[in-house]
């Protein structure tokens, strides 16, 4: 009985030590391609024009903003984000502080990303300084290409 417990403990320890973000036979290049989707979004956000959005999102992309608003469909998301990033948030930039990618299946990945956000004021008189955002991206592989299909943004509250 004791030998079985030791074998079980070793098996569990081995399973727990396996890197959680590499699964389902993904190649290291898949992880980089998923990161590239996150970086493409970040670049478009920082630019404000979202000129490349069709190259890294699905047509049915869903966006959940920091205050819980849900927008469905790439065209509708762009109606929300473009004006915001070209007016109130013009010049505001995101940078990746950390990123963790997990593959849920051969064609579904989740990227949990902490973005540092440059300072801004919104609404007038309310200053946002040293803000960090936890953004969860659901990225799917469709026709051999990784695409953003859902994202949720949450402002991290300092304790």
Q: Report how far residue 151's alpha carbon sits from residue 81's, in angstroms, rounded to the nearest whole number.
A: 13
Residues 19-42 have a mean pLDDT of 82
Greater confidence (67 vs 37) lies with 37
Mean pLDDT estimate for the chain? 88
pLDDT class of 24 with cuts at 50, 70, 90? low
- pTM, to two decimals: 0.82
Which domains does the chain possess? Answer: 22-155 (3.10.450.50)
Tens digit of each residue's pLDDT (9 = 90 or more) over 110-142: 999 999 999 999 888 999 999 999 999 999 999
Instruction: Give the span between the Cα atoms of 25 and 28, in whole angstroms.
Output: 9
Residues with Cβ within 8 Å of 34's Cβ and at least 6 positions away in sequence, in order, are 101, 109, 111, 139, 146
Other CB atoms within a 10 A radius of the CB of residue 117 amount to 21
Burial class of residue 115, CB neighbours in 10 A (0-12, 13-18, 19+): buried
Q: Does residue 11 register a pLDDT over 50? A: no
The region that residue 55 occupies, defined by phi over 0 for left and psi between -120 and 50 for alpha, beta otherwise, is alpha
């Amino acid at each position: 009985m004791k030998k079985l417990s030791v074998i079980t403990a070793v098996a569990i320890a081995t399973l727990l030590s396996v890197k959680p973000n590499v699964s389902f036979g993904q190649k290291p290049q898949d992880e980089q391609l998923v990161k590239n989707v996150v970086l493409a979004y970040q670049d478009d956000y920082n630019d404000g024009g979202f000129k490349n959005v069709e190259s890294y999102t699905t047509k049915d992309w869903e966006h959940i903003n920091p205050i819980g608003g849900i927008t469905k469909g790439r065209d509708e998301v762009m109606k929300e984000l473009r004006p915001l990033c070209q007016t109130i948030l013009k010049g505001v930039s995101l940078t990746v502080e950390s990123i963790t990618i997990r593959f849920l299946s051969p064609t579904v990945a989740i990227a949990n990303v902490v973005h540092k956000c440059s300072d801004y004021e919104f609404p007038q008189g309310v200053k946002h300084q040293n803000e960090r955002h936890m953004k969860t991206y659901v990225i799917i592989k469709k026709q051999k290409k990784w695409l953003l299909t859902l994202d949720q943004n949450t402002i991290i509250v300092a304790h």
